[in-house]
Amino acid sequence: MIPTDGVLIGIYALIGDRDVIQVRRIAGREMAQRGTRTVQKTRFVTAVSEIARNVVMHGGGGEARIYMHSEPSAISVVCVDNGPGIADLDAAFSDGFSTAGSMGRGLGGAKRLSDALEVETEEGKGTRVTMMARI
Amino acid sequence: MSSASAIYFVEGVLLVAIQEDISDTDILDLQEALSERVVDEAARAVVMDISALEIVDTFVGRILAQLASVSKLLDAQTYVVGMRPAVAMTLVELGMDLPESKTALSLTHALRDLRGERRG
Protein backbone atom coordinates (compact mmCIF):
# COMPACT_ATOMS: atom_id res chain seq x y z
CA MET A 1 0.00 0.00 0.00
CA ILE A 2 2.83 2.41 0.83
CA PRO A 3 5.27 2.73 -2.10
CA THR A 4 8.74 1.49 -1.20
CA ASP A 5 10.59 3.34 -3.95
CA GLY A 6 10.97 7.09 -3.87
CA VAL A 7 13.48 9.88 -3.65
CA LEU A 8 15.05 10.27 -0.22
CA ILE A 9 14.69 13.89 0.89
CA GLY A 10 16.71 13.42 4.06
CA ILE A 11 17.52 11.45 7.19
CA TYR A 12 16.94 13.29 10.46
CA ALA A 13 17.93 12.34 14.00
CA LEU A 14 15.05 12.30 16.49
CA ILE A 15 16.64 12.90 19.88
CA GLY A 16 14.86 15.92 21.38
CA ASP A 17 11.71 17.94 20.89
CA ARG A 18 13.46 20.38 18.54
CA ASP A 19 14.08 17.45 16.18
CA VAL A 20 10.34 16.76 16.07
CA ILE A 21 9.78 20.36 14.95
CA GLN A 22 12.43 20.03 12.23
CA VAL A 23 11.01 16.83 10.77
CA ARG A 24 7.45 18.09 10.60
CA ARG A 25 8.59 21.43 9.18
CA ILE A 26 10.50 19.72 6.35
CA ALA A 27 7.59 17.37 5.61
CA GLY A 28 5.24 20.36 5.48
CA ARG A 29 7.61 22.33 3.27
CA GLU A 30 7.92 19.46 0.78
CA MET A 31 4.15 19.11 0.58
CA ALA A 32 3.61 22.85 0.22
CA GLN A 33 6.17 23.03 -2.59
CA ARG A 34 4.08 20.47 -4.48
CA GLY A 35 0.88 22.41 -4.04
CA THR A 36 -0.75 20.19 -1.43
CA ARG A 37 -3.98 21.60 -0.02
CA THR A 38 -3.62 23.16 3.43
CA VAL A 39 -5.99 20.73 5.15
CA GLN A 40 -4.23 17.69 3.68
CA LYS A 41 -0.85 19.11 4.69
CA THR A 42 -1.99 19.98 8.21
CA ARG A 43 -3.46 16.49 8.74
CA PHE A 44 -0.34 14.67 7.60
CA VAL A 45 2.14 16.95 9.35
CA THR A 46 0.16 16.46 12.57
CA ALA A 47 0.42 12.69 12.10
CA VAL A 48 4.18 13.03 11.56
CA SER A 49 4.42 15.10 14.74
CA GLU A 50 2.60 12.43 16.76
CA ILE A 51 4.83 9.61 15.53
CA ALA A 52 8.10 11.55 15.68
CA ARG A 53 7.29 12.57 19.25
CA ASN A 54 6.68 8.92 20.17
CA VAL A 55 10.22 8.14 18.99
CA VAL A 56 11.60 10.82 21.32
CA MET A 57 9.30 10.24 24.31
CA HIS A 58 8.73 6.48 24.25
CA GLY A 59 11.39 5.05 21.93
CA GLY A 60 14.51 6.56 23.47
CA GLY A 61 15.28 8.44 20.27
CA GLY A 62 15.81 7.32 16.70
CA GLU A 63 15.56 8.77 13.24
CA ALA A 64 13.14 9.81 10.53
CA ARG A 65 13.47 9.43 6.76
CA ILE A 66 11.38 11.46 4.36
CA TYR A 67 10.72 10.21 0.81
CA MET A 68 8.88 11.70 -2.13
CA HIS A 69 7.11 9.41 -4.61
CA SER A 70 5.93 10.18 -8.12
CA GLU A 71 3.70 7.22 -9.10
CA PRO A 72 1.33 8.03 -7.48
CA SER A 73 2.40 11.42 -6.18
CA ALA A 74 2.92 10.98 -2.44
CA ILE A 75 5.13 11.67 0.55
CA SER A 76 6.15 9.02 3.03
CA VAL A 77 7.87 9.33 6.39
CA VAL A 78 9.55 6.42 8.17
CA CYS A 79 10.23 6.80 11.91
CA VAL A 80 12.46 4.21 13.56
CA ASP A 81 13.56 3.69 17.14
CA ASN A 82 15.36 0.97 19.10
CA GLY A 83 13.17 1.38 22.15
CA PRO A 84 11.04 -1.06 24.14
CA GLY A 85 8.56 -1.68 21.33
CA ILE A 86 4.79 -1.66 21.68
CA ALA A 87 3.51 -4.66 23.63
CA ASP A 88 -0.12 -4.51 22.53
CA LEU A 89 -0.45 -2.87 19.16
CA ASP A 90 -4.25 -3.18 19.02
CA ALA A 91 -4.54 -1.40 22.35
CA ALA A 92 -2.09 1.28 21.24
CA PHE A 93 -4.27 2.03 18.22
CA SER A 94 -7.50 2.09 20.20
CA ASP A 95 -5.93 4.10 23.07
CA GLY A 96 -5.04 6.77 20.56
CA PHE A 97 -8.73 7.25 19.98
CA SER A 98 -10.27 6.83 23.41
CA THR A 99 -7.68 8.69 25.44
CA ALA A 100 -6.46 11.28 22.96
CA GLY A 101 -7.09 13.83 25.68
CA SER A 102 -4.98 12.01 28.23
CA MET A 103 -1.98 9.79 27.65
CA GLY A 104 -2.67 7.97 24.39
CA ARG A 105 0.28 7.57 22.08
CA GLY A 106 -1.57 9.15 19.22
CA LEU A 107 -1.19 6.08 17.01
CA GLY A 108 -4.87 5.80 16.16
CA GLY A 109 -5.08 9.52 15.48
CA ALA A 110 -1.99 9.44 13.27
CA LYS A 111 -3.49 6.57 11.28
CA ARG A 112 -6.70 8.48 10.67
CA LEU A 113 -4.74 11.54 9.54
CA SER A 114 -2.58 9.58 7.06
CA ASP A 115 -3.64 7.89 3.83
CA ALA A 116 -1.74 4.82 5.04
CA LEU A 117 0.15 3.95 8.21
CA GLU A 118 1.98 0.72 9.00
CA VAL A 119 3.67 -0.29 12.25
CA GLU A 120 6.32 -2.96 12.75
CA THR A 121 7.27 -3.46 16.37
CA GLU A 122 9.07 -6.04 18.47
CA GLU A 123 9.29 -6.00 22.24
CA GLY A 124 12.75 -5.00 23.38
CA LYS A 125 13.89 -4.32 19.81
CA GLY A 126 12.11 -1.21 18.66
CA THR A 127 9.42 0.21 16.45
CA ARG A 128 9.20 1.31 12.84
CA VAL A 129 6.25 3.39 11.71
CA THR A 130 5.78 4.17 8.02
CA MET A 131 3.13 6.70 7.03
CA MET A 132 2.10 8.11 3.70
CA ALA A 133 -0.04 10.86 2.24
CA ARG A 134 -1.01 11.37 -1.39
CA ILE A 135 -0.23 14.86 -2.60
CA MET B 1 10.72 32.19 30.15
CA SER B 2 11.70 31.40 26.60
CA SER B 3 10.99 33.62 23.62
CA ALA B 4 8.64 30.97 22.22
CA SER B 5 5.74 32.80 23.80
CA ALA B 6 5.01 36.20 25.26
CA ILE B 7 2.63 37.05 28.09
CA TYR B 8 1.00 40.49 28.38
CA PHE B 9 -1.32 41.64 31.15
CA VAL B 10 -4.03 44.02 29.93
CA GLU B 11 -7.35 44.97 31.59
CA GLY B 12 -7.18 42.05 34.01
CA VAL B 13 -6.56 39.62 31.17
CA LEU B 14 -3.39 37.64 30.46
CA LEU B 15 -2.73 37.64 26.73
CA VAL B 16 -0.47 34.87 25.50
CA ALA B 17 0.93 34.84 21.99
CA ILE B 18 2.32 31.42 21.14
CA GLN B 19 5.05 31.46 18.53
CA GLU B 20 5.09 29.13 15.56
CA ASP B 21 8.04 26.98 16.56
CA ILE B 22 7.15 26.44 20.22
CA SER B 23 8.73 23.23 21.50
CA ASP B 24 7.34 20.75 24.01
CA THR B 25 9.73 22.09 26.64
CA ASP B 26 8.67 25.67 25.92
CA ILE B 27 4.98 24.91 26.27
CA LEU B 28 5.52 23.05 29.55
CA ASP B 29 7.47 26.10 30.80
CA LEU B 30 4.63 28.31 29.62
CA GLN B 31 2.06 26.22 31.49
CA GLU B 32 3.96 26.73 34.74
CA ALA B 33 4.70 30.42 34.21
CA LEU B 34 1.13 31.16 33.21
CA SER B 35 -0.40 29.37 36.21
CA GLU B 36 1.70 31.54 38.50
CA ARG B 37 0.85 34.72 36.61
CA VAL B 38 -2.89 34.00 36.91
CA VAL B 39 -2.55 34.07 40.70
CA ASP B 40 0.01 36.88 40.91
CA GLU B 41 -2.07 39.22 38.74
CA ALA B 42 -5.48 37.95 39.95
CA ALA B 43 -6.32 37.60 36.27
CA ARG B 44 -9.96 37.06 35.37
CA ALA B 45 -9.14 35.52 32.00
CA VAL B 46 -6.36 34.02 29.90
CA VAL B 47 -6.46 34.53 26.13
CA MET B 48 -4.22 32.15 24.19
CA ASP B 49 -3.53 33.25 20.63
CA ILE B 50 -2.59 30.17 18.60
CA SER B 51 -2.89 31.77 15.15
CA ALA B 52 0.84 31.19 14.57
CA LEU B 53 0.49 27.44 15.02
CA GLU B 54 0.28 25.52 11.75
CA ILE B 55 -0.42 22.31 13.63
CA VAL B 56 -1.71 21.33 17.07
CA ASP B 57 -1.05 17.70 17.91
CA THR B 58 -2.27 15.73 20.93
CA PHE B 59 0.65 16.86 23.09
CA VAL B 60 0.10 20.56 22.52
CA GLY B 61 -3.68 20.06 22.63
CA ARG B 62 -3.39 18.31 25.97
CA ILE B 63 -1.28 21.13 27.43
CA LEU B 64 -3.78 23.72 26.18
CA ALA B 65 -6.61 21.73 27.79
CA GLN B 66 -4.67 21.43 31.07
CA LEU B 67 -3.90 25.13 31.06
CA ALA B 68 -7.61 25.86 30.76
CA SER B 69 -8.45 23.46 33.61
CA VAL B 70 -5.79 24.94 35.88
CA SER B 71 -6.94 28.47 35.07
CA LYS B 72 -10.52 27.52 35.87
CA LEU B 73 -9.45 26.26 39.30
CA LEU B 74 -7.73 29.61 39.77
CA ASP B 75 -10.96 31.40 38.78
CA ALA B 76 -9.91 32.59 35.33
CA GLN B 77 -11.70 31.80 32.08
CA THR B 78 -9.51 30.62 29.21
CA TYR B 79 -10.09 31.62 25.60
CA VAL B 80 -8.31 29.99 22.68
CA VAL B 81 -8.27 32.39 19.75
CA GLY B 82 -7.01 32.34 16.18
CA MET B 83 -7.29 28.61 15.54
CA ARG B 84 -6.84 27.87 11.84
CA PRO B 85 -9.65 25.93 10.15
CA ALA B 86 -7.31 23.07 9.17
CA VAL B 87 -6.13 22.84 12.79
CA ALA B 88 -9.73 22.64 14.03
CA MET B 89 -10.56 19.90 11.52
CA THR B 90 -7.46 17.93 12.50
CA LEU B 91 -8.17 18.24 16.24
CA VAL B 92 -11.66 16.85 15.67
CA GLU B 93 -10.18 13.90 13.77
CA LEU B 94 -7.78 13.31 16.66
CA GLY B 95 -10.80 13.11 18.97
CA MET B 96 -9.63 16.10 21.00
CA ASP B 97 -11.61 18.94 22.42
CA LEU B 98 -10.80 21.76 24.81
CA PRO B 99 -13.65 21.41 27.31
CA GLU B 100 -12.73 24.22 29.70
CA SER B 101 -11.79 26.70 26.98
CA LYS B 102 -13.99 29.13 25.21
CA THR B 103 -12.95 29.71 21.64
CA ALA B 104 -13.12 32.97 19.75
CA LEU B 105 -12.14 33.87 16.23
CA SER B 106 -9.74 36.57 17.33
CA LEU B 107 -8.41 38.48 20.28
CA THR B 108 -10.92 41.24 19.55
CA HIS B 109 -13.81 38.77 19.74
CA ALA B 110 -12.53 37.34 23.02
CA LEU B 111 -12.18 40.77 24.61
CA ARG B 112 -15.65 41.77 23.41
CA ASP B 113 -17.04 38.61 24.98
CA LEU B 114 -15.20 39.34 28.24
CA ARG B 115 -16.51 42.91 28.39
CA GLY B 116 -20.00 41.55 27.83
CA GLU B 117 -19.52 39.19 30.76
CA ARG B 118 -18.39 42.04 32.97
CA ARG B 119 -21.48 44.07 32.15
CA GLY B 120 -23.63 41.01 32.78
What pLDDT, on a 0 to 100 scale, did the predictor assign at position A90? Answer: 82
ipTM of the complex: 0.88
Alpha helices per DSSP H over chain B: 24-40, 58-73, 85-93, 107-119
- pLDDT, tens digit (0-9, with 9 covering 90-100), for A43-82: 999 999 999 999 999 899 999 999 999 988 999 999 999 9
Q: Cα(B43)–Cα(A135) distance, rounded to whole angstroms?
A: 45
Q: Note whether A17 contacts B: Cβ–Cβ < 8 A.
A: yes
Contacts with A94 from chain B: Cβ below 8 Å = none
Across the interface, whether the CB atoms of B94 and A102 are under 8 A apart is answered no
Across the interface, whether the CB atoms of A101 and B95 are under 8 A apart is answered yes
What pLDDT, on a 0 to 100 scale, did the predictor assign at position A97? Answer: 46
Torsion of CA B79, B82, B87, B91, to 10 degrees: 10
Between the CA of residue A15 and those of A25, A61, A71, A81, A103, what are the distances in Å?
Answer: 16, 5, 32, 10, 20
Across the interface, whether the CB atoms of B57 and A102 are under 8 A apart is answered no
| Sign of the Cα pseudo-torsion (A82, A85, A89, A91, in order) | negative
A118: closest CA among A134, A126, A107, A103? Answer: A107
Give chain A's mean pLDDT.
89
What pLDDT, on a 0 to 100 scale, did the predictor assign at position A89? Answer: 83
Q: Cα(B30)–Cα(A9) distance, rounded to whole angstroms?
A: 34
Phi, psi of A106 (to 5 degrees): 75, 10
Mean pLDDT of A1-6: 83
- List chain B residues with pLDDT less than 70: 1-4, 117-120
| Residue A95 confidence (pLDDT) above 80 | no
**Candidates B65, B84, B86; nearest CB to A101:** B65
Q: Cα(A66)–Cα(A10) distance, rounded to whole angstroms?
A: 6
Q: Note whether A51 contacts B: Cβ–Cβ < 8 A.
A: no
What pLDDT, on a 0 to 100 scale, did the predictor assign at position A99? Answer: 41
**Candidates B21, B23, B95; nearest CB to A109:** B95
pTM, two decimals, is 0.91
Element (H, E) at B106: none
Mean pLDDT of A104-109: 75
Residues A134/A73, Cβ–Cβ less than 8 Å: yes
| Number of residues that make up chain B | 120
Q: Cα(A62)–Cα(A68) distance, rounded to whole angstroms?
A: 21
